[in-house]
Structure 1
Amino acid sequence: MTQDELLKKREQVLLKLMEDPMYQPMRLQDIAVFLDVPKSKRKDLESALDALVREGRIRVSKNGKYGKSESQEKEGVFAANAKGFGFVRIPGEENDVFIPRDKTRGALQGDTVRILIPRGQQLERREGRVLEIVARGVSRLVGYYRRENRSGVVLPDNTRFAADVVIPAGASLGAQTGEKVLVEITAYPKERGEDLEGRVLERLGKASAVGVDLTSIVRSFEIPDTFSEECLAEAVRAERQGTEELSGEVPGRRDLRALCTVTIDGEDSKDLDDAISLTELENGNVQLGVHIADVSEYVKEGGPLDREALNRGTSVYLPDRVIPMLPVELSNGICSLNEGEDRFALSCLMEFTAEGELVHSEICESVIRSDCRLTYTTVNQIITNHEPELCEHYAEFVPMLERMDVLARQLRALRSERGYIDFDFPESKVILSPSGKPIEIRAYERNEATRLIEDFMLAANETVAKTYCLKHLPFVYRVHEAPTPEKLQLLKTFVMNFGLNLKLKNGEVTPREIQKLLLRVEGTEAEDLVSRMALRTMTQASYSVDCIGHFGLASRYYTHFTSPIRRYPDLQIHRIIKEDLRRGLSEKRKEHYRAILSGVSDRASQTERRAQECERDAVKYKKCEYMEGHINEIYEGIISGVTRYGIYVELKNTVDGMIRVSELRDDHYQYNEEKAELVGEFTKKRYRLGEPLRVRVTGADRLIRTVDFLPEPPLPSADED
């Protein structure tokens, strides 16, 4: 046993002694007698006690008695800052613990650490020190390779990693200076400031080469972007099998090829996994058909494709590429509902009254044929602007599209009545040149065509969820819990500044109350501000085997049924539905699904968050790259966040950046958390969440994903002119 291990063992014995409820503070000699430590070893005992005192884990009184410390020990995940300090997030606690630069003990981003927190601190401003690194959080990272003599050094892309990675001779795979590489860490530093050691696993290419920037981001999130030969072979076999089956009779499936059916997607979409139809019934009602590609027909449970799809969890959409959950032979081929081609589907057929009330539904295995591939732009021009040329070109589909528009608006109104919350913040669209450079950033606005598809997919998801929840079969649901009482109280306090009230009952709120709040501020100056605060109050949606409802949609029953090409939970429930339709689930199969679905739900939630973080990081990178070419230009924006450190501003093109408080030289600003504002001590100038602000771009940094602004005076009004 090494000296360090021996010291650690002695410390554990002493801590166990002092944590005993019967223990009373004792002097060194009393502890030695109690533990039967001979005089020759008392110096070692004293060293162990001194080490524990230095760490704050025990205390010593003026008269030399050692006792239990008043500090708390907690375990959590370390989040590093590029400046050397960090924060520890403790499970079940809302407030992080600040760790100063000299008390991190060499902890790195993502490490699980045990920390010591002195008692008597304010909950939201606690400070601690790292006692021990329990588990390392990252074993691989991406960075810039620089050759040094026979060895090399990798500078991590993630600036939160304060240490470089030394690559010994023979471990570089021949990487050259200027390349991006994926490395595996083989040795971690024992103290802050020491380097990591690792080996190169993959050379990604020259840092300046097209696409290497986003490939580096993909690798940093450990998202697989290639398929094994085994998976590709299965995909080819499945495509061949599907083509043969569709060329003949299709027993056991409802033949819906006679229905007028269309797909409506973006112009550049290739994986068309949903189609819709609308049929007028003799009783005056309409039947809406939502037809979803039957991916489960080709991806068999437990096979190579299924295992890979579960591992990926979802497709990932980046500015320059899509990383599919399934190989393109399936996602863009036999599982894509291409125009004029027969395809297997799962169809949700829903009958609605003239007022939009659902009166009957049926789910069936089907074979369909899309009659036309439409785009959001085309359909919006037809149903909103009644564009003559398009209406003439698509004359056979116009009556159905117009009746679909009526139904979609009815469904939207009914959801609104029950309290559906619609946060309509624009998403980003990044336009790249052939060389991968961002040439335009703009808001991706929703229109009536995108809303129509959203309305119909929501209807199908709710119908399927209700059907299987009432059957009490094992299933995967999309769930969204209500906001926490703490966050609701903050929102209530905040909106009181505008003379508004949020009704809480026992610390809880209904979706209807949130919706009423948003309707009250619609069209006012406070709309953006209150909407953003309400959005921050919401919890994150996830997957679960329990049908607990979806708060944001104000829906008692909700699942994800409509995208099995790109989401694993949809694929999983398709299997359950088909088994139930064909022969019903035996007790053995029910037990099988009960055993696996909890793990499927957890994995799907994890991979969804990973994909979202990767997508956001890639878009942020390209936004920063774009803004590098627009330094000193002036933009109109909205204050999207206010903290004690600075003001976040979102431009109309969706780029967001920060004005640091330290750069506001005109006054000394105080932060008011309740009102989410910074107020000048002398000028009384206010920077408030949701208010418009003109800014000048002063800097952009792709590496740390930041854009810096400074405020500009508002333009003079017409009266002032």
Structure 2
Amino acid sequence: MSKIIAKKKKKDGPKQGVPFIKKKNKAAKDAELVQGILSRHKKGFGFVTPEEGTEQVPEDGERQDIFIAGKNLNGAMNGDLVSVLLIPKEETNRSREGIIQQILTHGVTEIVGVFEKNKRFGFVVPDDKHFNNEDVFVKKSDWKNAENGDRVVVQITKYPEEGNRAEGRISEIISKKGEPGGDIKGMIRQYNLFQTFPSRVNAEAKAVSRLKEQKEADFTPIAPEELKGRVDLREKNIITIDGPDAKDLDDAVSIEQLPGGNYLLGVHIADVSHYVAEGGAMDKEALKRGTSVYLVDQVIPMLPKALSNGICSLNPDVDRLTLSVSMEIDSTGQVVRHQIFESVIHSAHRMVYDDVSDMLERNAVDLISKYDDIYKDILHMKELADILHKRRDLRGSLDFDFDEAYITLDEAGIPVTVETAERRIANRMIEEFMLIANETVAEHFYWLELPFVYRVHEKPAMDRMDEFKNFVRGFGLTLHGSTENVHPRVLSDMLKEVKGQSYETVVNTVMLRSMKKAFYDVSCDGHFGLGVKFYCHFTSPIRRYPDLIIHRIIKEAIGAGIGEKRNRQLKKKTEEAAELSSKAERHAQELEREVEKLKKTEYMSYHIGESFEGVISGVTNFGFYVELTNTIEGLVRVESLKDDYYDYEQTKYRLIGQRTHKIYTLGDKVRIQVARAEVNDKEIDFIVAEEETKAKKKTGAK
């Protein structure tokens, strides 16, 4: 049984600088106190997520958040660690409600926002709407030359209490008013991420890169000591295939067709660990960052550009140190033999996805002629990719084919187009090669029983699968087998069944939401989505820390070997890397989504009143969401449906009119009009277009 935090104490002094909130309540003196993190809503209320071990876990294993009314926040800010007095169920109409009794630790010490000044004082209005109505007061002496409208960082010097606002001093000016890209810079800083690196990290990167750049400037070959123990692949036909804007080229591929008909696939990955010393300044910073973050037109790299875009990038026509996986693959897609070794390559071409796809899809004669030295290899790559995909398909690997947004900004940082990014044959081809390399490396090191970092994706929870089963039944679909131990092939078959249907995207979306999130772990517990027992991330050490640390382990294992003492060290290091990288990944994904929402909302703010076709992608009791063909999503609020009063049928994912029996349900095509686009809140409101309302006839129940 988990322990309860504490009983109410009569004399319990506050922590230094943290007010102790006294609040009388009808609850019994020994009512339960629960500890957790507060998440404030922009409308003024909040929820506390209990920490593990601070309360008894319910039988279903789901720990419920505690609702906190605005009047019961008692000065607590978003992110604070607080103790909450639970209100007895008989005194509230909510499942769980409480009153914040004490702020244990403030979760925020600084806030990013826009500075608004008067003659003698100013305020910083937070960008993060979790801090709604929590403007920070700034005395004139603490302005630090900030001007009205500048986006700044304000350090909290006094936390709010007894109705008084928080106070602070401006510590940093992120961008001047109207500066292009200032909004994204603010969001980056809000997430406590930095595009620049500490001086000691830059110094270490320059020390490594300066030596290498000098050698290349003098056309001096790689030093003999760097080639020691490496397989020389510089005469091989090796190429990179990436997007046109990519600068951190960390993977290259090669292929041969062997006399017996098998393929010899080579996946060659930048040997980043050769330049990033374990425990050095770059390594510590990379571990802290965990991953590179890609934000529309900006990148927050895991490693300094001197490495990521320089000596570690597998640019054409220069020698580069790599870690290679050579795999002999038969006609069924089975890896019958493999080798993992240190190597040196000389990329023949820096190819882009569109060019390779045009060669394969459109038989582009000009491109085939230009790249005649590798065209035969590209044809073999396509053949092998088809074989590998078929093998994945047979084992039930899930292939969610979602459209991704491609947002173009002008020089002022204003979004001018929002389109869907193409995922063409060359993209899929490289994806297959990276998947088989990751799988091969993971299995190899699993059997060696060495410390390692695996990519884990657990099977879905039974209750989520039950919900999904009920959902697809509304489309006449049947989810076969047990929901307690569902096989990925069952879900894969359903994805094929809905392919091309009007409700394809909706079924894909709901299925994906029913899944658990993948994460990094030191235990090899399989990857449900890919339908494999062994999987890791090996192919991107420039932008992911798990790849970097397992490169070190691989090189030690194939080199001098790993002794008992080193084994214990690596066990601790891999555990730390897995935990921190999983957190960093979630943090990065959240920021990427928020920046995309910001720019999509800004784009739609220039299209108020215009009409678009879309598909209903979500239904709630307050309205339904519509996703346009360019991936932008907006909400049609139920109060905007003036023709009837609509009831929400949760189990059928639909709204139905009481009088007209008009139905709005998942997967329905609908024409909407843009009613509102609030950039600060990242909210888009649609209304049903007038012509749609006129055309929609009485449908009855589906």
Superposition TM-score, scaled by structure 1 size: 0.88
Corresponding residue for 2:452? Answer: 475
2:81 matches 1:112: yes
Corresponding residue for 1:153? Answer: 123
Q: 1:683 to 1:127 in 2, by over 3 A?
A: farther
CA–CA distance in structure 2, aligned partners of residues 94 and 641 of structure 1:
25
2:68 matches 1:99: yes
2:189 matches 1:219: yes
2:95 matches 1:135: no
2:178 to 190, 208, 216: 208
Q: Is the 8 A contact 1:242 1:298 kept in 2?
A: no
- Post-superposition offset of 1:590: 0.5
CA shift digits 1:13-35 (9 cap, x unpaired): 9xxxxxxxxxxxxxxxxxxxxxx
CA–CA distance in structure 1, aligned partners of residues 81 and 529 of structure 2:
33
CA shift digits 1:525-570 (9 cap, x unpaired): 3322221111110111111111111111111111110001111111
Equivalent residue runs for 1:203-602 within 5 Å: 203-242=173-212, 244=215, 246-249=221-224, 250-505=227-482, 507-602=484-579
Corresponding residue for 1:16? Answer: none
Which amino acid letter does the alignment assign opposite residue 48 of structure 2?
V
2:685 matches 1:714: no
CA–CA distance in structure 2, aligned partners of residues 670 and 126 of structure 1:
26
CA–CA distance in structure 2, aligned partners of residues 708 and 688 of structure 1:
18
Report which stretch shifted further, 680-689 or 295-304.
680-689
Corresponding residue for 1:38? Answer: none
2:157 matches 1:182: no
CA–CA distance in structure 2, aligned partners of residues 620 and 295 of structure 1:
33
- Post-superposition offset of 1:637: 1.1
Report which stretch shifted further, 658-667 or 291-300.
658-667
Q: Is the 8 A contact 1:95 1:123 kept in 2?
A: no
CA shift digits 1:159-208 (9 cap, x unpaired): 221311011232221211111101122221124x5311112121112231
Corresponding residue for 1:194? Answer: 164
DSSP 3-state at the match of 1:674: helix
Q: 1:679 to 1:75 in 2, by over 3 A?
A: farther
- Post-superposition offset of 1:309: 0.8
2:36 to 69, 73, 76: 76
Q: Is the 8 A contact 1:246 1:343 kept in 2?
A: no
Which amino acid letter does the alignment assign opposite residue 177 of structure 1?
N
CA–CA distance in structure 1, aligned partners of residues 493 and 416 of structure 2:
40
DSSP 3-state at the match of 2:606: helix
Structure 2 stretches of 5 or more lacking a match?
1-6, 14-21, 52-60, 696-702
Q: 1:691 to 1:164 in 2, by over 3 A?
A: same
Superposition TM-score, scaled by structure 2 size: 0.90
Which amino acid letter does the alignment assign opposite residue 201 of structure 1?
S
CA–CA distance in structure 2, aligned partners of residues 171 and 388 of structure 1:
66
- Post-superposition offset of 1:504: 4.6
Q: Is the 8 A contact 1:700 1:708 kept in 2?
A: yes
Q: Is the 8 A contact 2:466 2:483 kept in 1?
A: no
Q: Is the 8 A contact 2:151 2:175 kept in 1?
A: yes
DSSP 3-state at the match of 1:714: helix
Structure 1 stretches of 5 or more lacking a match?
1-6, 14-50, 60-67
Q: 1:206 to 1:467 in 2, by over 3 A?
A: same
Q: 1:170 to 1:637 in 2, by over 3 A?
A: same
CA–CA distance in structure 1, aligned partners of residues 113 and 680 of structure 2:
11
CA–CA distance in structure 2, aligned partners of residues 648 and 506 of structure 1:
28
2:657 matches 1:680: yes
Aligned residues: 663
DSSP 3-state at the match of 2:405: strand
Residue identity (%): 43
CA–CA distance in structure 2, aligned partners of residues 136 and 675 of structure 1:
43
CA–CA distance in structure 2, aligned partners of residues 126 and 636 of structure 1:
41
Report which stretch shifted further, 141-150 or 298-307.
141-150
CA–CA distance in structure 1, aligned partners of residues 177 and 296 of structure 2:
18
Q: Is the 8 A contact 2:625 2:636 kept in 1?
A: yes
Q: 1:650 to 1:90 in 2, by over 3 A?
A: farther
CA shift digits 1:53-111 (9 cap, x unpaired): x424417xxxxxxxx55xx5433322212221122333563643332222222232222
CA–CA distance in structure 2, aligned partners of residues 453 and 120 of structure 1:
59
Q: Is the 8 A contact 2:27 2:87 kept in 1?
A: no
Q: 1:684 to 1:126 in 2, by over 3 A?
A: farther
DSSP 3-state at the match of 2:78: coil
Which amino acid letter does the alignment assign opposite residue 35 of structure 2?
E
Which amino acid letter does the alignment assign opposite residue 152 of structure 1?
G
- Post-superposition offset of 1:117: 4.1
Q: 1:432 to 1:12 in 2, by over 3 A?
A: closer
Which amino acid letter does the alignment assign opposite residue 222 of structure 2?
S
CA–CA distance in structure 2, aligned partners of residues 189 and 623 of structure 1:
34
Aligned-pair Cα RMSD in Å: 2.3
